[in-house]
Protein backbone atom coordinates (compact mmCIF):
# COMPACT_ATOMS: atom_id res chain seq x y z
CA UNK A 1 0.00 0.00 0.00
CA UNK A 2 1.36 3.44 -0.92
CA UNK A 3 1.71 6.31 1.57
CA UNK A 4 -1.12 8.12 -0.25
CA UNK A 5 -3.46 5.14 0.16
CA UNK A 6 -2.64 4.87 3.87
CA UNK A 7 -3.56 8.47 4.43
CA UNK A 8 -6.76 8.12 2.37
CA UNK A 9 -7.67 5.13 4.48
CA UNK A 10 -7.06 7.07 7.70
CA UNK A 11 -9.27 9.91 6.47
CA UNK A 12 -11.93 7.39 5.49
CA UNK A 13 -11.88 5.78 8.94
CA UNK A 14 -12.07 9.22 10.55
CA UNK A 15 -15.22 9.94 8.50
CA UNK A 16 -16.74 6.64 9.67
CA UNK A 17 -15.81 7.39 13.27
CA UNK A 18 -17.50 10.80 13.03
CA UNK A 19 -20.66 8.98 11.88
CA UNK A 20 -20.62 10.45 8.35
CA UNK A 21 -22.42 8.68 5.57
CA UNK A 22 -20.27 7.27 2.73
CA UNK A 23 -21.71 7.90 -0.73
CA UNK A 24 -20.99 5.97 -3.97
CA UNK A 25 -18.65 8.57 -5.49
CA UNK A 26 -16.61 9.04 -2.30
CA UNK A 27 -13.21 7.40 -2.01
CA UNK A 28 -13.46 4.07 -0.18
CA UNK A 29 -11.07 1.17 0.46
CA UNK A 30 -11.51 -1.62 -2.07
CA UNK A 31 -12.33 -4.06 0.75
CA UNK A 32 -15.16 -1.78 1.98
CA UNK A 33 -16.61 -1.69 -1.55
CA UNK A 34 -16.33 -5.48 -1.95
CA UNK A 35 -17.81 -6.19 1.50
CA UNK A 36 -20.82 -4.07 0.60
CA UNK A 37 -21.30 -5.68 -2.78
CA UNK A 38 -21.16 -9.07 -1.03
CA UNK A 39 -23.56 -8.21 1.78
CA UNK A 40 -26.05 -6.09 -0.19
CA UNK A 41 -26.26 -8.58 -3.08
CA UNK A 42 -26.68 -11.51 -0.66
CA UNK A 43 -29.39 -9.53 1.04
CA UNK A 44 -31.11 -8.78 -2.29
CA UNK A 45 -30.94 -12.46 -3.29
CA UNK A 46 -32.46 -13.40 0.08
CA UNK A 47 -35.43 -11.14 -0.52
CA UNK A 48 -35.97 -12.59 -3.99
CA UNK A 49 -35.48 -16.26 -3.06
CA UNK A 50 -37.51 -15.54 0.08
CA UNK A 51 -40.57 -15.06 -2.10
CA UNK A 52 -40.58 -18.75 -3.00
CA UNK A 53 -41.53 -20.48 0.30
CA UNK A 54 -44.41 -18.04 0.80
CA UNK A 55 -45.41 -17.91 -2.86
CA UNK A 56 -46.08 -21.62 -2.45
CA UNK A 57 -49.15 -20.76 -0.34
CA UNK A 58 -50.75 -17.92 -2.35
CA UNK A 59 -53.18 -20.29 -4.07
CA UNK A 60 -54.01 -22.07 -0.81
CA UNK A 61 -54.68 -19.32 1.74
CA UNK A 62 -57.64 -20.08 4.04
CA UNK A 63 -59.61 -17.01 2.89
CA UNK A 64 -59.57 -13.94 0.65
CA UNK A 65 -58.30 -11.58 3.36
CA UNK A 66 -55.29 -13.80 3.96
CA UNK A 67 -54.66 -14.03 0.20
CA UNK A 68 -54.59 -10.24 -0.17
CA UNK A 69 -52.17 -9.94 2.76
CA UNK A 70 -49.86 -12.67 1.52
CA UNK A 71 -49.83 -11.36 -2.06
CA UNK A 72 -48.92 -7.89 -0.82
CA UNK A 73 -46.15 -9.30 1.39
CA UNK A 74 -44.59 -11.33 -1.40
CA UNK A 75 -44.71 -8.32 -3.72
CA UNK A 76 -43.04 -6.22 -1.01
CA UNK A 77 -40.15 -8.73 -0.89
CA UNK A 78 -39.68 -8.31 -4.66
CA UNK A 79 -39.55 -4.53 -4.11
CA UNK A 80 -36.93 -4.96 -1.36
CA UNK A 81 -34.82 -6.99 -3.78
CA UNK A 82 -35.04 -4.16 -6.31
CA UNK A 83 -34.00 -1.41 -3.87
CA UNK A 84 -31.09 -3.54 -2.75
CA UNK A 85 -29.89 -4.48 -6.24
CA UNK A 86 -29.99 -0.75 -7.07
CA UNK A 87 -27.94 0.08 -3.96
CA UNK A 88 -25.35 -2.58 -4.91
CA UNK A 89 -25.17 -1.27 -8.50
CA UNK A 90 -23.91 2.09 -7.19
CA UNK A 91 -20.73 0.23 -6.19
CA UNK A 92 -19.88 -0.83 -9.74
CA UNK A 93 -21.41 -4.28 -10.12
CA UNK A 94 -24.11 -4.83 -12.74
CA UNK A 95 -27.46 -6.42 -12.03
CA UNK A 96 -26.71 -9.07 -14.67
CA UNK A 97 -23.54 -10.05 -12.81
CA UNK A 98 -25.46 -10.39 -9.55
CA UNK A 99 -28.17 -12.51 -11.17
CA UNK A 100 -25.53 -14.67 -12.81
CA UNK A 101 -23.94 -15.27 -9.38
CA UNK A 102 -27.33 -16.24 -7.93
CA UNK A 103 -28.37 -18.50 -10.79
CA UNK A 104 -25.09 -20.40 -10.91
CA UNK A 105 -25.16 -21.01 -7.15
CA UNK A 106 -22.03 -18.86 -6.61
CA UNK A 107 -23.84 -16.29 -4.46
CA UNK A 108 -25.14 -16.92 -0.97
CA UNK A 109 -28.61 -16.04 0.24
CA UNK A 110 -30.16 -16.49 3.68
CA UNK A 111 -30.11 -20.09 4.93
CA UNK A 112 -33.69 -19.78 6.21
CA UNK A 113 -35.21 -19.89 2.73
CA UNK A 114 -33.93 -23.41 2.14
CA UNK A 115 -36.53 -24.88 4.49
CA UNK A 116 -39.93 -26.03 3.17
CA UNK A 117 -43.33 -24.49 4.00
CA UNK A 118 -45.40 -27.56 4.80
CA UNK A 119 -48.53 -26.04 6.35
CA UNK A 120 -50.42 -22.74 6.51
CA UNK A 121 -48.99 -22.21 10.00
CA UNK A 122 -45.55 -21.96 8.38
CA UNK A 123 -46.68 -18.75 6.69
CA UNK A 124 -47.65 -17.27 10.05
CA UNK A 125 -44.37 -18.47 11.54
CA UNK A 126 -42.30 -16.95 8.72
CA UNK A 127 -43.96 -13.57 9.26
CA UNK A 128 -43.55 -13.80 13.03
CA UNK A 129 -40.05 -15.28 13.30
CA UNK A 130 -38.30 -14.74 9.96
CA UNK A 131 -39.51 -11.18 9.41
CA UNK A 132 -39.08 -10.65 13.16
CA UNK A 133 -35.41 -11.71 12.93
CA UNK A 134 -34.98 -9.68 9.74
CA UNK A 135 -36.26 -6.53 11.49
CA UNK A 136 -33.88 -6.92 14.44
CA UNK A 137 -30.99 -7.22 12.00
CA UNK A 138 -32.20 -4.55 9.61
CA UNK A 139 -33.18 -1.75 12.00
CA UNK A 140 -29.50 -1.66 12.80
CA UNK A 141 -28.74 -1.43 9.07
CA UNK A 142 -30.77 1.79 8.72
CA UNK A 143 -27.74 3.44 10.37
CA UNK A 144 -25.11 1.55 8.43
CA UNK A 145 -22.28 3.70 7.07
CA UNK A 146 -23.01 3.31 3.33
CA UNK A 147 -25.70 5.86 2.41
CA UNK A 148 -27.65 4.01 -0.35
CA UNK A 149 -27.86 0.83 1.77
CA UNK A 150 -28.96 2.72 4.90
CA UNK A 151 -31.65 4.63 2.99
CA UNK A 152 -33.00 1.47 1.32
CA UNK A 153 -33.24 -0.15 4.74
CA UNK A 154 -35.45 2.61 6.19
CA UNK A 155 -38.19 1.80 3.71
CA UNK A 156 -37.66 -1.95 3.94
CA UNK A 157 -37.95 -1.92 7.74
CA UNK A 158 -41.32 -0.17 7.64
CA UNK A 159 -42.67 -2.92 5.40
CA UNK A 160 -41.01 -5.77 7.33
CA UNK A 161 -42.65 -4.51 10.46
CA UNK A 162 -46.09 -4.87 8.84
CA UNK A 163 -45.08 -8.38 7.69
CA UNK A 164 -44.15 -9.38 11.20
CA UNK A 165 -47.53 -8.22 12.50
CA UNK A 166 -49.52 -10.05 9.84
CA UNK A 167 -47.56 -13.23 10.62
CA UNK A 168 -48.12 -12.90 14.35
CA UNK A 169 -51.81 -12.28 13.75
CA UNK A 170 -52.03 -15.57 11.82
CA UNK A 171 -50.33 -17.28 14.78
CA UNK A 172 -52.76 -15.73 17.28
CA UNK A 173 -55.66 -17.10 15.23
CA UNK A 174 -54.17 -20.58 14.98
CA UNK A 175 -52.83 -20.94 18.51
CA UNK A 176 -56.11 -19.76 20.05
CA UNK A 177 -58.14 -21.85 17.58
CA UNK A 178 -59.07 -25.55 17.48
CA UNK A 179 -56.69 -28.18 18.97
CA UNK A 180 -55.68 -29.12 15.39
CA UNK A 181 -54.85 -25.50 14.56
CA UNK A 182 -52.83 -25.10 17.75
CA UNK A 183 -50.95 -28.29 16.96
CA UNK A 184 -50.18 -26.98 13.49
CA UNK A 185 -48.86 -23.73 14.99
CA UNK A 186 -46.67 -25.64 17.47
CA UNK A 187 -45.30 -27.88 14.71
CA UNK A 188 -44.36 -24.83 12.61
CA UNK A 189 -42.61 -23.22 15.59
CA UNK A 190 -40.73 -26.49 16.25
CA UNK A 191 -39.39 -26.55 12.69
CA UNK A 192 -38.61 -22.84 12.27
CA UNK A 193 -37.19 -21.91 15.68
CA UNK A 194 -33.60 -23.07 15.26
CA UNK A 195 -33.25 -22.05 11.58
CA UNK A 196 -34.49 -18.57 12.60
CA UNK A 197 -31.70 -18.29 15.18
CA UNK A 198 -29.22 -19.30 12.46
CA UNK A 199 -30.31 -16.37 10.29
CA UNK A 200 -28.08 -14.06 12.36
CA UNK A 201 -25.00 -15.87 11.08
CA UNK A 202 -22.23 -17.82 12.83
CA UNK A 203 -21.15 -17.18 16.42
CA UNK A 204 -19.01 -14.05 16.77
CA UNK A 205 -15.80 -16.02 17.30
CA UNK A 206 -16.45 -17.88 14.04
CA UNK A 207 -17.62 -14.90 11.98
CA UNK A 208 -14.71 -13.77 9.77
CA UNK A 209 -16.37 -10.53 8.61
CA UNK A 210 -17.67 -9.13 11.90
CA UNK A 211 -14.55 -7.38 13.21
CA UNK A 212 -14.03 -5.25 10.08
CA UNK A 213 -17.75 -4.70 9.58
CA UNK A 214 -18.08 -3.34 13.13
CA UNK A 215 -15.05 -1.08 12.59
CA UNK A 216 -16.61 0.28 9.41
CA UNK A 217 -20.03 0.60 11.08
CA UNK A 218 -21.59 -1.73 8.53
CA UNK A 219 -22.65 -3.76 11.53
CA UNK A 220 -23.68 -1.77 14.59
CA UNK A 221 -24.13 -4.97 16.60
CA UNK A 222 -22.58 -8.42 16.28
CA UNK A 223 -24.34 -11.62 15.18
CA UNK A 224 -24.54 -12.94 18.78
CA UNK A 225 -25.82 -9.63 20.19
CA UNK A 226 -28.64 -9.52 17.65
CA UNK A 227 -29.48 -13.20 18.14
CA UNK A 228 -29.81 -12.63 21.91
CA UNK A 229 -31.97 -9.54 21.32
CA UNK A 230 -34.26 -11.59 19.06
CA UNK A 231 -34.64 -14.37 21.64
CA UNK A 232 -35.37 -11.91 24.46
CA UNK A 233 -38.10 -10.21 22.42
CA UNK A 234 -39.63 -13.39 21.00
CA UNK A 235 -40.01 -15.63 24.07
CA UNK A 236 -42.77 -13.49 25.68
CA UNK A 237 -44.55 -13.50 22.29
CA UNK A 238 -44.43 -17.33 22.22
CA UNK A 239 -45.75 -17.39 25.81
CA UNK A 240 -48.68 -15.18 24.82
CA UNK A 241 -49.49 -17.64 22.03
CA UNK A 242 -49.32 -20.53 24.54
CA UNK A 243 -46.68 -22.24 22.39
CA UNK A 244 -43.47 -23.89 23.59
CA UNK A 245 -40.12 -22.98 22.11
CA UNK A 246 -38.33 -26.28 21.31
CA UNK A 247 -35.34 -25.66 23.55
CA UNK A 248 -35.18 -27.50 26.91
CA UNK A 249 -32.24 -25.30 27.97
CA UNK A 250 -34.11 -22.03 27.51
CA UNK A 251 -34.28 -20.17 30.82
CA UNK A 252 -34.38 -16.56 32.04
CA UNK A 253 -31.05 -15.55 33.58
CA UNK A 254 -31.73 -12.89 36.19
CA UNK A 255 -28.08 -11.98 36.54
CA UNK A 256 -27.49 -11.42 32.81
CA UNK A 257 -30.93 -9.93 32.22
CA UNK A 258 -31.27 -12.22 29.18
CA UNK A 259 -32.54 -15.68 28.28
CA UNK A 260 -29.96 -18.48 28.26
CA UNK A 261 -30.50 -20.85 25.37
CA UNK A 262 -29.32 -24.25 24.13
CA UNK A 263 -26.64 -25.10 21.59
CA UNK A 264 -27.31 -24.27 17.95
CA UNK A 265 -26.53 -27.04 15.46
CA UNK A 266 -23.83 -25.24 13.45
CA UNK A 267 -23.19 -28.33 11.30
CA UNK A 268 -26.72 -28.04 10.00
CA UNK A 269 -26.21 -24.31 9.36
CA UNK A 270 -23.04 -24.84 7.30
CA UNK A 271 -24.60 -27.72 5.37
CA UNK A 272 -27.49 -25.44 4.37
CA UNK A 273 -25.12 -22.56 3.50
CA UNK A 274 -23.04 -24.92 1.34
CA UNK A 275 -26.08 -25.90 -0.72
CA UNK A 276 -27.14 -29.11 1.04
CA UNK A 277 -30.26 -27.89 2.85
CA UNK A 278 -33.70 -29.43 2.31
CA UNK A 279 -34.70 -27.06 -0.53
CA UNK A 280 -31.49 -25.49 -1.92
CA UNK A 281 -31.72 -27.28 -5.26
CA UNK A 282 -35.45 -26.62 -5.61
CA UNK A 283 -34.97 -22.88 -4.89
CA UNK A 284 -32.19 -22.45 -7.46
CA UNK A 285 -34.15 -24.43 -10.06
CA UNK A 286 -37.20 -22.19 -9.47
CA UNK A 287 -35.13 -19.00 -9.85
CA UNK A 288 -33.49 -20.27 -13.04
CA UNK A 289 -36.85 -21.27 -14.50
CA UNK A 290 -38.33 -17.83 -13.71
CA UNK A 291 -35.28 -16.17 -15.31
CA UNK A 292 -35.53 -18.27 -18.49
CA UNK A 293 -39.27 -17.85 -18.80
CA UNK A 294 -38.96 -14.08 -18.26
CA UNK A 295 -36.50 -13.65 -21.16
CA UNK A 296 -39.19 -12.34 -23.51
CA UNK A 297 -40.16 -9.62 -21.01
CA UNK A 298 -36.56 -8.43 -20.74
CA UNK A 299 -36.15 -8.55 -24.53
CA UNK A 300 -39.34 -6.56 -25.05
CA UNK A 301 -38.38 -3.95 -22.44
CA UNK A 302 -34.91 -3.55 -23.96
CA UNK A 303 -36.28 -3.32 -27.51
CA UNK A 304 -38.61 -0.53 -26.34
CA UNK A 305 -35.75 1.31 -24.59
CA UNK A 306 -33.54 1.00 -27.70
CA UNK A 307 -36.30 2.26 -29.99
CA UNK A 308 -36.90 5.25 -27.70
CA UNK A 309 -33.16 6.03 -27.56
CA UNK A 310 -32.80 5.88 -31.37
CA UNK A 311 -35.80 8.25 -31.77
CA UNK A 312 -34.14 10.73 -29.39
CA UNK A 313 -30.87 10.52 -31.37
CA UNK A 314 -32.66 11.26 -34.67
CA UNK A 315 -34.47 14.22 -33.03
CA UNK A 316 -31.10 15.70 -31.93
CA UNK A 317 -29.61 15.12 -35.42
N1 LIG B 1 -27.35 -17.69 5.53
O2 LIG B 1 -18.76 -13.37 8.80
P3 LIG B 1 -20.23 -13.59 8.78
C4 LIG B 1 -35.27 -11.47 5.06
C5 LIG B 1 -22.41 -16.38 5.59
S6 LIG B 1 -33.77 -10.99 4.51
C7 LIG B 1 -26.43 -17.85 4.57
O8 LIG B 1 -20.94 -13.42 10.07
P9 LIG B 1 -21.53 -11.24 7.68
C10 LIG B 1 -36.50 -10.74 4.56
C11 LIG B 1 -21.87 -14.98 5.30
O12 LIG B 1 -22.42 -14.46 4.12
C13 LIG B 1 -32.63 -12.13 5.26
N14 LIG B 1 -25.13 -17.44 4.71
O15 LIG B 1 -20.90 -12.70 7.62
C16 LIG B 1 -37.55 -11.69 4.23
C17 LIG B 1 -20.39 -15.25 5.20
O18 LIG B 1 -20.07 -15.81 3.94
P19 LIG B 1 -19.14 -15.04 2.83
C20 LIG B 1 -31.27 -11.81 4.85
C21 LIG B 1 -24.83 -16.82 5.87
O22 LIG B 1 -21.93 -10.88 6.30
C23 LIG B 1 -38.36 -12.22 5.21
C24 LIG B 1 -20.17 -16.37 6.20
O25 LIG B 1 -21.44 -16.97 6.42
N26 LIG B 1 -30.78 -10.68 5.62
O27 LIG B 1 -35.30 -12.37 5.79
C28 LIG B 1 -25.76 -16.60 6.89
O29 LIG B 1 -20.65 -10.30 8.41
C30 LIG B 1 -39.36 -13.13 4.88
C31 LIG B 1 -19.58 -15.88 7.50
O32 LIG B 1 -20.53 -15.06 8.23
C33 LIG B 1 -29.63 -10.08 5.31
O34 LIG B 1 -28.97 -10.44 4.36
C35 LIG B 1 -27.07 -17.06 6.69
N36 LIG B 1 -28.02 -16.93 7.62
O37 LIG B 1 -22.84 -11.43 8.58
C38 LIG B 1 -37.73 -12.07 2.91
C39 LIG B 1 -29.26 -8.90 6.16
N40 LIG B 1 -25.13 -15.97 7.91
O41 LIG B 1 -20.01 -14.02 2.20
C42 LIG B 1 -38.76 -12.97 2.58
C43 LIG B 1 -27.95 -8.30 5.78
C44 LIG B 1 -23.85 -15.80 7.53
O45 LIG B 1 -18.00 -14.41 3.58
C46 LIG B 1 -39.58 -13.49 3.58
N47 LIG B 1 -26.83 -9.16 6.07
N48 LIG B 1 -23.66 -16.32 6.31
O49 LIG B 1 -18.74 -16.11 1.88
C50 LIG B 1 -26.21 -9.20 7.25
O51 LIG B 1 -26.56 -8.52 8.19
C52 LIG B 1 -24.98 -10.08 7.35
O53 LIG B 1 -24.56 -10.40 6.05
C54 LIG B 1 -25.22 -11.38 8.17
C55 LIG B 1 -23.93 -12.22 8.14
C56 LIG B 1 -25.53 -11.04 9.62
C57 LIG B 1 -26.35 -12.21 7.59
Nearest CA to ligand 1 atom 11: 201
Is residue 235's pLDDT more than 90? yes
Identify the band that residue 317 occupies on the pLDDT scale cut at 50, 70 and 90: low
User: How many whole angstroms from 94 Cα to the centroid of ligand 1?
Assistant: 21
Q: Kindly list the protein residues whose Cβ atom lies closer than 6 A to any atom of ligand 1.
A: 38-39, 42-43, 46-47, 50, 77, 108, 110-111, 126, 130-131, 134, 137, 198-202, 207-210, 213, 223, 273
Of 43, 46, 201, 207, the residue with max ligand 1 atoms within 8 A of its CB, to mutate for a pocket test, comes to 201
Is residue 2's pLDDT more than 90? no
Q: Are 259 and 235 in contact (CB under 8 A)?
A: yes
Residue environment code for 264-296, b if the CB has 16+ CB neighbours within 10 A, otherwise e: beeeebebbbeeebebbeebbebbeeeeeeeee
Model confidence over 26-83: pLDDT tens digits? Answer: 999 999 999 999 999 999 999 999 999 999 999 999 999 999 999 999 999 999 999 9
C-alpha to C-alpha distances, 52 to 85, 114, 131, 229, 230, nearest whole angstrom: 18, 10, 15, 27, 24
User: How many whole angstroms from 180 Cα to the centroid of ligand 1?
Assistant: 35
Mean pLDDT on 146-170: 95
Model confidence over 108-153: pLDDT tens digits? Answer: 999 999 999 999 999 999 999 999 999 999 999 999 999 999 999 9
Q: Which atom of ligand 1 is nearest to the CA of 38?
A: 41
Q: Which atom of ligand 1 is nearest to the CA of 42?
A: 34
Angle at 118 between CA 114 and CA 121, to 5 degrees: 110
Q: Where is 42: in which H helix or E strand?
A: helix 30-49
Q: Which atom of ligand 1 is nearest to the CA of 210?
A: 29
Amino acid sequence: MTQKEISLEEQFQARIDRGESIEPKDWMPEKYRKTHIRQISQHAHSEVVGMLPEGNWITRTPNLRRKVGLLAKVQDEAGHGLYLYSAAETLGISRDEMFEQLHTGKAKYSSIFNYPTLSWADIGTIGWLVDGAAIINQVMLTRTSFGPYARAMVRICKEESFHQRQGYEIMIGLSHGTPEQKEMAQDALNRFWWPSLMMFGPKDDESPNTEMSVKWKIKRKTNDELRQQFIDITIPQAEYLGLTVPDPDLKWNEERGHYDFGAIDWDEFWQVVKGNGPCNKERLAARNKAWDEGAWVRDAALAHAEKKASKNVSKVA
